[in-house]
């Protein structure tokens, strides 16, 4: 796009850009070019971390000494032989669920087991686990502090946990204990000690649970025994107090009826006590453990045999658990079929819980029935007593006392039986785990971990380099390519001006740096580097730099077909972007081709171009505008190209330079220059720091916006143009200046082939 105003050519080109940006998608080739460009730009950033991490991996491989791994396997035997056939006093753990197996893995990895092994094998004195042999740790300036016993244990525990690996083999009941050590026999010894400590911990926990149950039963036996003794003692005392002597003779009908009622009442009370005990135990299970519904050992305590419905539900639950474990292992834990099985298991578990709740309701009903029956018998007994005129009230009281004594005696016998069973189990506790294979000292070292670490280091380096490269790419907020200019500024990039090295700039002294049109030749002077760059279009007419400046002239001439384009202003967003140098080189190109061209230094805040070209000038732009001097008296000309130059000379800074540029006198000057010259090139001040450029929109036909390649921030340029709409609308194009062509090939691969193709050398192109 040559310009962004509403002329026909600019409008068509702008539409083409919008359509291309909106409709075309990146092809595979463009994506590949983008990736290769990223690799070219960030090559060293990618290579350095990769080489560094690879070297680190090699060092690790050379320094790290592989360890020995010893393995012990433990089997969770769910079908062990029972020495005692009576019901277990404590609940048994069901290993069919994965949660139960995971719990055992955590027990094996627990600090309790680890500290037991550390203490048993005296690992706090082993240098492999606590460091130096004397148990000292390094301090500041080489000092050492003696480790305390707790510090030794903590250090040994940390090293122990790092070397221990515990895992379940598939879906089996086998647990693998893997321990790593620098010594083969030490690894096997510790692995076996862990298995032994785990089995001992299970035995201890079973013993402790049985002991607590026996203690509770013992306390209850004492209480019930005292109640039974008191009841029996009350019977004896009552007989003695009432002189009751039991004989073998029969009794009458009333006495027999009373005896039967007393017997039934005693039985009913015993039944109610037993039912109440079952109800209390059932409610205790439901309160203490919602999963207790799966513990059928407790059900046997409450009832003589497992309820048929609960047994059937448990069978279904076990089958579903086995199927779910199998399917989770095959198809994954989150597979729909496995999830459905777990949902069914949850429903069955709920059904079993409901069965227990119904059982509790049944027990509650039994208690109520027994209570009502007891009350009924009590009423009948009272009625019989009242009806019996000759019944001895003492006999009734005696029967009550005997019934109470019998009830307490029955409860005492039951608790005594359960206590005896718990003591038997306590004297011979059993465990579900047993060692399947004991570890033996391994024959070879384990290189797997060392090799994995070493092999992973280069990949870590690559990913690290990619991350740093991506951060560098995201932080590179400067103009690099013409596509960036067109997409961000909505203006065409008309030239890429290469940066010239010091050896490419001729350090010559001109025989005559310039002359006044009405004066004698000036004394020879030394060219500055910037002016040496500007004169490169004269010294090297077939250079890449000169060809780029010619492309600016072509863009100006093509745009001149659409509208008048005599006055060309050179500006930039910030100082030192090379606008003055390009303006001078542009003037030399036009003048060298025979065109009538004048270069004006309108950077009234900082006329660096005047100081470089005409350091001895005593009049210039201000004197011409004010009418003190004529144009012919103030203009200088270059002897080589006949380029006319109107400097800006002043002895003090101007605070209102924009007022001068916006004045009618300045406009009249530009009108005279339009009539006298083919091109009027205006070197303006930067756009961002000062407002002078905005005051020249009525003077300048088109602006050339100079952006320093790889240095000027994109947001700075966007902000500068956004604040100067009149300038932005008349921007002819953007010139990327000081381009490093070798680095440019990393951003635009086609540029490298364009400038280095041997076929272009046939047209006189030279570096």
Judge whether 11 lies within some domain: no
Same domain, 387 and 270: yes
Output the 3-class SS for 432-468. CEEEEECCCCCCCCECHHHHHHHHHHHHHHHHHHHHH
Q: Where does the pLDDT of residue 527 fall: very low under 50, low under 70, confident under 90, or very high at 90 and above? A: very low
pLDDT over 80 at 406, yes or no: yes
Judge whether 603 lies within some domain: yes
Q: What is the pLDDT of residue 680?
A: 94
pLDDT over 60 at 414, yes or no: yes
Same domain, 400 and 292: yes
Parallel, antiparallel, or unpaired: how do β-strands 597-601 and 644-646 relate? parallel
pLDDT over 90 at 23, yes or no: no
Same domain, 605 and 676: yes
Q: What's the distance, CA 208 to chain centroid?
A: 45
Q: How do residues 287-327 score in pLDDT, each as one tens digit? A: 765 554 455 444 444 454 445 777 787 788 888 888 888 88
Q: What is the CATH number of the domain that holds 721?
A: 3.40.50.300
pLDDT over 90 at 645, yes or no: yes
Q: How do residues 627-636 score in pLDDT, each as one tens digit? A: 888 888 899 9
pLDDT over 70 at 663, yes or no: yes
Determine the Cα–Cα distance for residues 364 and 276; give it in Å rounded to an integer. Answer: 8
Same domain, 545 and 693: yes
Judge whether 113 lies within some domain: no
Q: Where does the pLDDT of residue 2 fall: very low under 50, low under 70, confident under 90, or very high at 90 and above? A: very low
Judge whether 221 lies within some domain: no
Tell me the whole-structure pTM to 2 decimals: 0.49
Judge whether 115 lies within some domain: no
String of DSSP letters for 692-737: GGGGGTTT-SEEEEEEETTTSBHHHHHHHHHT-HHHHHTEEEEEEE
Same domain, 418 and 315: yes
φ, ψ at 649 (rounded to 5°): -120, 130
Judge whether 569 lies within some domain: yes
Judge whether 138 lies within some domain: no
Same domain, 387 and 500: no
Task: Give the domain range for residue 264.
Answer: 248-425
Judge whether 629 lies within some domain: yes
Q: CB count, 10 Å around CB of 54?
A: 17
String of DSSP letters for 321-384: HHHHHHHHHHH-TT-HHHHHHHHHHHHHHHHHHHHHHHHHHHHHHHHHHHHHHHHHHHHHHHHH
Q: Two tokens at 478?
A: 């400067």
Same domain, 415 and 487: no
DSSP run (H or E) holding 612: helix 608-613
Our count of domains for the chain comes to 2
Q: Where does the pLDDT of residue 753 fall: very low under 50, low under 70, confident under 90, or very high at 90 and above? A: low
Determine the Cα–Cα distance for residues 579 and 541; give it in Å rounded to an integer. Answer: 20
Same domain, 417 and 484: no
Grouping H, G, I as helix, E, B as strand and the rest as coil, residue 225 is helix
Q: CB count, 10 Å around CB of 703?
A: 30
Q: What's the distance, CA 356 to chain centroid?
A: 47
Q: How do residues 701-726 score in pLDDT, each as one tens digit? A: 999 999 998 888 888 898 888 888 88
pLDDT over 50 at 731, yes or no: yes
């Amino acid at each position: 796009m040559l310009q962004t105003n509403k002329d026909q050519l600019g409008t068509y080109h702008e539409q083409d850009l919008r359509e291309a940006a909106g409709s075309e998608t990146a092809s595979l080739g463009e994506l590949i070019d983008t990736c290769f460009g990223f690799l070219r730009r960030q090559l060293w950033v990618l290579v350095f971390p990769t080489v560094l991490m690879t070297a680190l991996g090699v060092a690790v491989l050379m320094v790290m000494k592989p360890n020995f791994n010893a393995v012990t396997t433990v089997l969770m035997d769910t079908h062990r032989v029972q020495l005692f056939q009576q019901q277990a006093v404590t609940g048994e753990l069901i290993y069919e669920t994965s949660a139960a197996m995971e719990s055992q893995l955590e027990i094996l990895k627990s600090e309790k087991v680890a500290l037991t092994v550390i203490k048993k094998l005296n690992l706090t004195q082993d240098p492999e686990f606590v460091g130096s042999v004397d148990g000292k740790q390094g301090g500041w300036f080489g000092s050492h502090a003696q480790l305390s016993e707790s510090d030794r244990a903590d250090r040994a525990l940390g090293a122990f946990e790092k070397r221990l690996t515990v895992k379940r083999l598939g879906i089996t009941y086998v647990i693998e204990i893997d321990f790593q050590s620098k010594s083969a026999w030490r690894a096997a010894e510790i692995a076996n000690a862990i298995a032994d400590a785990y089995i001992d911990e299970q035995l201890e926990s079973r013993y402790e649970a049985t002991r607590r149950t026996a203690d509770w039963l013992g306390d209850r036996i004492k209480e019930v025994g005292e109640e039974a003794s008191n009841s029996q003692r009350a019977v004896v005392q009552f007989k003695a107090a009432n002189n009751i002597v039991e004989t073998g003779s029969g009794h009458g009908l009333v006495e027999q009826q009373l005896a039967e009622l007393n017997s039934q009442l005693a039985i009913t009370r015993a039944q109610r006590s037993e039912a109440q005990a079952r109800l209390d135990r059932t409610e205790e299970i439901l309160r203490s453990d919602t999963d207790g519904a799966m513990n059928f050992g407790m059900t046997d305590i409450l009832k003589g045999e497992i309820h048929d419905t609960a047994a059937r539900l448990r069978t279904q639950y076990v089958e579903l658990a086995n199927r779910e474990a199998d399917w989770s292992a095959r198809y994954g834990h989150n597979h729909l079929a496995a999830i459905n099985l777990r949902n069914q298991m949850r429903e069955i578990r709920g059904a079993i819980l409901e069965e227990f709740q119904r059982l509790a309701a049944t027990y509650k009903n039994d208690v109520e029935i027994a209570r009502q029956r007891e009350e009924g018998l009590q009423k009948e007994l009272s009625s019989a007593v009242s009806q019996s005129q000759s019944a001895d009230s003492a006999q009734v009281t005696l029967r009550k006392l005997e019934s109470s004594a019998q009830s307490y005696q029955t409860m005492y016998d039951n608790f005594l039986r359960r206590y005896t069973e718990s003591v038997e189990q306590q004297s011979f506790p059993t465990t579900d785990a047993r060692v399947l294979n004991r570890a033996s000292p391994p024959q070879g070292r384990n290189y797997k971990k060392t090799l994995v670490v070493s092999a992973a280091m280069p990949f870590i380096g690559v990913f690290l380099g990619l991350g740093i490269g991506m951060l560098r790419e995201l932080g590179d907020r400067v103009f690099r390519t013409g596509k960036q200019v067109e997409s961000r500024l909505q203006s065409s990039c008309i030239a890429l001006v290469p940066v010239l090295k010091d050896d490419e700039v001729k350090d010559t002294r001109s025989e005559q740096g310039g002359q006044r049109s009405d004066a004698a030749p000036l004394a020879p002077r030394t060219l500055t580097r910037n002016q040496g760059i500007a004169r490169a279009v004269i010294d090297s007419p077939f250079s890449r730099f000169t060809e780029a400046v010619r492309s600016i002239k072509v863009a100006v001439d093509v745009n001149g077909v659409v509208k008048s384009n005599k006055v060309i202003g050179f500006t930039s967003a910030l100082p030192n972007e090379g606008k003055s140098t390009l303006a001078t080189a542009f003037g030399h190109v036009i003048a060298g081709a025979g065109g009538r061209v004048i270069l004006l230094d309108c950077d009234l805040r900082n006329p660096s171009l005047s100081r470089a070209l005409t350091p001895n000038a005593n009049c210039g732009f201000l004197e011409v505008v004010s009418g003190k001097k004529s144009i012919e008296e103030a203009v200088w000309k270059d002897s080589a190209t006949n380029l006319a130059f109107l400097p800006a000379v002043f002895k003090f800074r101007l605070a209102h330079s924009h007022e001068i540029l916006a004045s009618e006198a300045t406009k009249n000057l530009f009108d005279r220059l339009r009539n006298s010259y083919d091109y009027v090139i205006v070197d303006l001040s930067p756009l961002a720091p000062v407002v002078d450029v905005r005051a020249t929109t009525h003077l300048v036909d088109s602006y050339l916006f100079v952006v320093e390649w790889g240095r000027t921030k994109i947001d700075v340029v966007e902000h500068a143009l956004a604040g100067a709409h009149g300038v932005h609308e008349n921007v002819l194009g953007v010139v990327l200046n000081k381009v490093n062509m070798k680095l440019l090939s990393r951003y635009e691969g086609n540029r490298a082939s364009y400038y280095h193709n041997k076929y272009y050398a046939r047209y006189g192109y030279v570096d």
